[in-house]
């Protein structure tokens, strides 16, 4: 029997790059170098990279750093221009969804890497260096005229660039994704509040009937929650932007950098992003802790709680359509069941509630990462890559879900006035309005009698001559019950 010819596996063409540990085979068609390749081999864990927002922030940071170093006389104009052009290209391609995927293949380092984020910082340094070398007419990997450490990373350490990039990404993402989403939702809720202002429904406390409330008043409460959420987002952005670690280098002392470097980088970043970034007043706090991240995410966690509460109440008021509360008619956007024909579920509401659950879980992750123990060691927090992607995920989820909730659900909500009117008149809590006139105990007695006899408060009072009819009608005016007595 003839033996089968052994076929050699196809191998991707490679090139040789070098770093401080020696040479390394790197795929020929990527822009990163030896240190990145070591990280790729060391951390095949989640197969999730750091995300385009983080890399975009790093490119902004390297661009600003090159400008600052040139102004400080540390970096010549030619190298500065090469670095800035490479960073501009990275940012432009990441901002375009059509080219984003192609650019991100050059930034493959896994989220679960070294806790300082050194691998991602070096990944960016190597890509910028190789792009600059190519632009200068040199071979990729030449490290001349732009070296990844000597020039791209000049005046920096992974220990101050990683937390700085984290804060740039989160602050700008909150500004451009979360704030617009929340503003859209607040606008939609305010509109519904005005639209429903004259509709009086029964209020509920402890899931039991309570005194009347206008549907518009309920929605005004929802809108106020989101208004406060917008204020909390601004507070989160300030927490991130006003305590920038850049300039602290390795342990916060600023070794190997110019004393004015951090302030100048923050000034450049402010011009580029429209967010007012400030150098940390105490670099030892800014690098050893991630308190600003925990603080910022605390605001996000509160926003998630607000969204979940609003979504939960709207879902409950819309339950039915015939055998539930049925006060609201939610937009029908897709079939709700694979077995029950005609069933429609509040799918967008449930999506928002799941986002809130995820954000709440993310807050636990960031709390544990920020509090120390295995997450920190003396002068450096060691959970920064995970903290970065977790924070950005929460911002993205909240911003996107708020906008979609507004446009695809809230804007299309209708009030079921017939169901609302029937429910209000049957409520035993209308007797609350009688308490100031006939006393609490007598009003409670009437409510119990109505419950056992199946009567309404109005019917019982008329039948038993509790009050003259005109006085009774005035007392049981449901609209007046939704205003202070004053």
Return all residues near 270 (Cβ < 8 A) that are at least 6 apart: 276, 277
If you compute the radius of gyration of the chain from its CA atoms, what whole number of angstroms results?
A: 31
What are 271's two structure tokens?
Answer: 């011009």
Q: Provide the β-strand partners of residue 22.
A: 19
| Identified catalytic residue from 46, 48, 337, 448 | 337
Q: Provide the β-strand partners of residue 204.
A: 209
Query: What is d(CA 121, CA 153) in angstroms, rounded to the nearest whole number?
Result: 9
| Nearest of 386, 195, 171 to residue 292 by alpha carbon | 171
The question of whether 206 is a catalytic residue gets the answer: yes
| Identified catalytic residue from 3, 13, 20, 206 | 206
The question of whether 119 is a catalytic residue gets the answer: no
Task: Return the axis-axis angle of helices 158-173 and 52-71, rounded to nearest 10°.
Answer: 120
Sign of CA dihedral 41, 46, 52, 54: negative
Query: What is d(CA 165, CA 114) in angstroms, rounded to the nearest whole number?
Result: 16
Tell me which residue has tokens 């020929």. 28
What are 49's two structure tokens?
Answer: 């990279």
Question: What's the CA dihedral at 222, 223, 226, 231 to 10 degrees?
Answer: -130
Q: Which residues are catalytic?
A: 206, 337
């Amino acid at each position: 029997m003839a033996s089968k010819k052994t076929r050699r596996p196809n191998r991707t063409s490679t090139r040789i790059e070098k770093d401080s540990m020696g040479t390394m085979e790197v795929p020929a068609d990527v822009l990163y170098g030896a240190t990145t390749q070591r990280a790729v081999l060391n951390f095949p864990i989640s197969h999730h990279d750091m995300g385009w927002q983080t890399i975009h922030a790093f490119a902004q940071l390297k661009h600003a750093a090159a400008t600052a170093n040139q102004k400080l006389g540390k970096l010549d104009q030619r190298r500065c221009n090469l670095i800035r052009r490479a960073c501009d290209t990275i940012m432009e391609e990441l901002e375009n969804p059509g080219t984003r995927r192609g650019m991100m293949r050059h930034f493959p380092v896994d989220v679960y890497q070294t806790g300082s984020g050194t691998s991602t910082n070096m990944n960016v340094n190597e890509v910028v260096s190789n792009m600059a070398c190519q632009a200068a007419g040199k071979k990729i990997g030449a490290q001349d005229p732009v070296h990844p450490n000597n020039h791209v990373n000049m005046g920096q350490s992974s220990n101050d660039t990683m937390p700085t990039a984290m804060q740039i990404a989160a602050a700008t993402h909150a500004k451009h994704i979360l704030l617009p989403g929340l503003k859209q939702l607040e606008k939609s809720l305010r509109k519904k509040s005005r639209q429903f202002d004259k509709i009086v429904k029964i209020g509920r406390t402890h899931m039991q009937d309570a005194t009347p409330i206008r549907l518009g008043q309920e929605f005004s409460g929802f809108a106020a929650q989101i208004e406060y959420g917008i204020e909390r987002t601004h507070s989160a952005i300030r927490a991130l932007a006003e305590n920038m670690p850049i300039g602290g280098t390795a342990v916060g002392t600023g070794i190997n950098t110019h004393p004015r470097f951090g302030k100048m980088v923050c000034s450049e970043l402010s011009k580029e992003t429209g967010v007012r970034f400030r150098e940390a007043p105490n670099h030892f706090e800014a690098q050893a802790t991630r308190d600003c991240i925990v603080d910022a995410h605390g605001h996000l966690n509160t926003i998630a709680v607000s969204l979940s509460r609003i979504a939960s109440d709207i879902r409950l008021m819309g339950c039915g359509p015939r055998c539930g509360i049925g006060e609201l008619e939610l937009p029908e956007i897709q079939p709700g069941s694979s077995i029950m024909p005609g069933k429609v579920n509040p799918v967008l509401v449930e999506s928002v509630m799941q986002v809130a659950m995820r954000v709440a879980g993310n807050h636990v992750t960031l709390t544990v990462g920020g509090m120390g123990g295995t997450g920190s060691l003396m002068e450096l927090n060691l959970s920064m890559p995970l903290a970065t992607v977790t924070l950005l995920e929460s911002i993205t989820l909240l911003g996107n879900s708020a906008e979609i909730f507004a446009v695809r659900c809230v804007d299309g909500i209708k009030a079921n006035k017939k169901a609302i009117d029937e429910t209000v008149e049957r409520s035993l809590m209308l007797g609350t309005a009688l308490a100031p006139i006939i006393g609490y105990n007598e009003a409670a007695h009437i409510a119990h009698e109505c419950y056992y006899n199946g009567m309404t408060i109005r019917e019982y009072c008329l039948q038993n001559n509790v009050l003259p009819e005109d006085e009774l009608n005035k007392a049981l005016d449901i609209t007046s019950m939704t205003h202070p007595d004053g």
